[in-house]
Structure 1
Amino acid sequence: MTFPDLTPELSARMPDLRGRLIANQPLAELTWFRVGGPAQVLFTPADEDDLAAFLAHLPAQIPVTVIGLGSNLIVRDGGVPGVVIRLGRGFSEIVVEEGHRLRVGTAVPDVKLARAAAEAGIAGLAFYRGIPGGIGGALRMNAGAHGGETCNPLVEARGVDRAGQVRTFSNADFGFSYRHSQAPADIIFTRALFQGRPGETAAIVAEMDRITAAREATQPIREKTGGSTFKNPPDGKAWQLIDAAGCRGLTRGGAQMSTLHCNFLINTGGATAADIEGLGEEVRRRVKDQSGVELEWEIRRIGLPG
């Protein structure tokens, strides 16, 4: 699908914009699944001020969708109407502060936060080594792994709302729960402050190495995948329900439920977004029929059908 080009109108409205506006930018290359259609407009702001100015002058009727590193995302084959915002280099700073704290831009990959903390001798953030994606997504979904969750070390985060206002949120403002936060949906987070504790670099690196080894042994991390597909239900494991419903290795088109970890969807090479999402929905149906449990998607799905 090709969308009408909005970039001339937006450029005329915002002549001082410093970020990049690209019409009909393919998004498949920006996602780990490598599927999906284009963004009507892809905007990469230069920094927080640029983002705020853009949102303040963007017509209210134009929808805004934010994507991060694309690890936990299915972009549907028809593409995404309106503006897709992706934060880049201007949101990638990591600053070590006094009191074993790290102030981090939301475009920073989770693994880079873990490494920066280890180098600074800051413990309590090594679990981010096991989470694909970036800090922005971690804030939005309370990402966690290997005994840690974002709600534990987060002190506060800063972001820009749809009107272009910069706002700060304390940990309590997020209303964190399992793989969820209640932060306003229109906020685009730009930076976050994390609290760690004193630690020895060698011990932290060893912990990260253990996490890496565990991931490589149990997850299809070298495949085109989006990480865990479904949230664990209360008092249960999604993968066990999927396995019990006979869905390990199940395929649809070029999509497959991993045989290594059956809560991971993978693109075996020729999948469409419809193949991947459709297989996920088939798994949900079979699990519901077999166990009565309705699995909830952990992977975010955006855009129009092809």
Structure 2
Amino acid sequence: MYQAAAQRYDTMPYRRCGRSGLMLPAISLGLWHNFGDNRPYDNSRAMILHAFDHGITHFDLANNYGPKPGAAEETFGRVLAQDLRAYRDELIISTKAGWRMWDGPYGEWGSRKYLVASLDQSLKRMGLDYVDIYYSHRPDPDTPLEETMGALDAIVRQGKALYVGISSYSAEETAAAARILKELGTPCLIHQPSFSMFDRWIEGGLTGVLKEQGIGSIAFCPLAQGLLTSRYLDGVPADSRAGSADNPFLTAEKVDARIAQVRALNAIAAQRGQTLAQMALAWALQTVTSVIIGASRVSQIEENLGAVRKLEFSADELARIEEILASV
């Protein structure tokens, strides 16, 4: 029978999420990849429990994570029922809706119909009465923003979520969403954008809006789909994401275009006594509240946890990193 590690809170930093009472771990675990029904359950369970044993209290999901869509929530629900039920009040469980989940006109985007129905399905898959954070996973160009934000507000008032957030909204969309939610009485807790050394779009205005509005931030893909790790220092392994023909997110061409930068950044990380992944996470945490890591095995989680041992950068290190990142 699983019993959580007694020292699980000893080393993880926790950070206040915007102007809220919620504290998030600096490192959160995402179940986007490797937790579907195409992966061994025992490995998925081992990663979730190892994360919790080391202070990762936040588990980030979405309705369509799999494969198949919904499978990651089913996996997490199984671990929750088997091992973590006694620790529910120590967990932050988030899920999202916005991308395509089922057939027909009501299975994606941002309508009240879709957001409410999707959350009901997610709660059933995970065996939960509520989630801690529920996100609009992407902006909907056709549904009025008032409807999408109104649905999030209604979900909180129904007790199905404690907080709400948005993901991948522009600075202008974020400001508008925050205003609507504030008027409804359900503040926007958090924004989840992509952000890494190689993906800095949020610096073009979004970070300013988040600070002004008191909204927290949590980055997905802080390791650029694995490019900011040691995985590709010597080329593209055949069994890697970039070596897979069906992965649109990271290709061999993208690796080739960045490999000189990756190697230069790795040299700085080595001088800091970190792996490249650890340094990349620490760098991202200069800007965001938390980072979402992905993993396919426990050892990757263990490596990424090492990032919190050295979060500070000298002015010289930051300047050298900027010089490398500018050398595209």
Question: TM over 0.5: same fold?
Answer: no
Structure with more helix by fraction: 2
Higher strand share: 1
- Please give the TM-score of this superposition, normalised by the length of structure 2: 0.28
Q: TM-score, normalising length from structure 1?
A: 0.30
